[in-house]
């Protein structure tokens, strides 16, 4: 396993590790984006999750940036793999980026907050 920090798929800046609720997440302090490994989103997605509240509060400190959602992103773990853009669920119309190889998820700065509203 590489000891190099993961890099933001949008800005290429190193992601900052953040452990919250027993889960190791990676945050981009440049764009406010969030990397979660496979199945970790379930720990934060529900509106009644205190850990989700804390994570959304942490992400809200980073200034929002204008994003081009037409740009396809590469996985921070698998640099040669382009992530899939998909709707979070049938009931939640938020589009997220997911790596087809590792199942990790990239959320742009406001997407976790949007998911938790439904």
For residue 63, the model assigns a pLDDT of: 84
For residue 60, the model assigns a pLDDT of: 94
Residue 58 lies in a domain: yes
Residue 5 lies in a domain: no
Which residues in the chain show pLDDT less than 50? 1
Residue 2 lies in a domain: no
Residue 83 lies in a domain: yes
For residue 26, the model assigns a pLDDT of: 98
For residue 86, the model assigns a pLDDT of: 96
For residue 66, the model assigns a pLDDT of: 87
Cα–Cα dist 107/98, whole Å? 9
Domain of residue 86 covers 16-116
State residue 117 phi and psi, 5-degree precision: -75, -20
What pTM value is reported for the model? Answer: 0.93
Residue 69 lies in a domain: yes
Residue-wise pLDDT for 44-67, tens only, equals 999 999 999 999 999 999 988 888
For residue 2, the model assigns a pLDDT of: 55
Residue 7 lies in a domain: no
Residue 5 to residues 14, 30, 48, 116, Cα–Cα distance (Å) = 6, 15, 31, 28
Cα–Cα dist 112/57, whole Å? 11
Counting the structural domains of the chain, the total is 1
Strand partners, 36: 105
Residue 105 lies in a domain: yes
């Amino acid at each position: 396993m590489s000891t190099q920090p993961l890099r933001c798929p949008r800005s290429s800046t190193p992601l900052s590790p953040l452990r919250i609720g027993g889960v190791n997440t990676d945050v981009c302090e440049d764009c406010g984006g969030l990397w979660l490994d496979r199945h970790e989103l379930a720990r934060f997605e529900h509106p009644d999750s205190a850990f989700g509240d804390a994570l959304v509060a942490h992400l809200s400190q980073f200034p929002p940036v204008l994003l081009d959602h037409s740009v396809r992103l590469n996985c921070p773990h698998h640099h040669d793999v382009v992530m899939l853009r998909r709707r979070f669920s049938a009931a939640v119309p938020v589009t997220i980026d997911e790596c087809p190889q590792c199942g990790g998820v990239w959320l742009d700065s406001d997407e976790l907050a949007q998911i938790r509203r439904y």
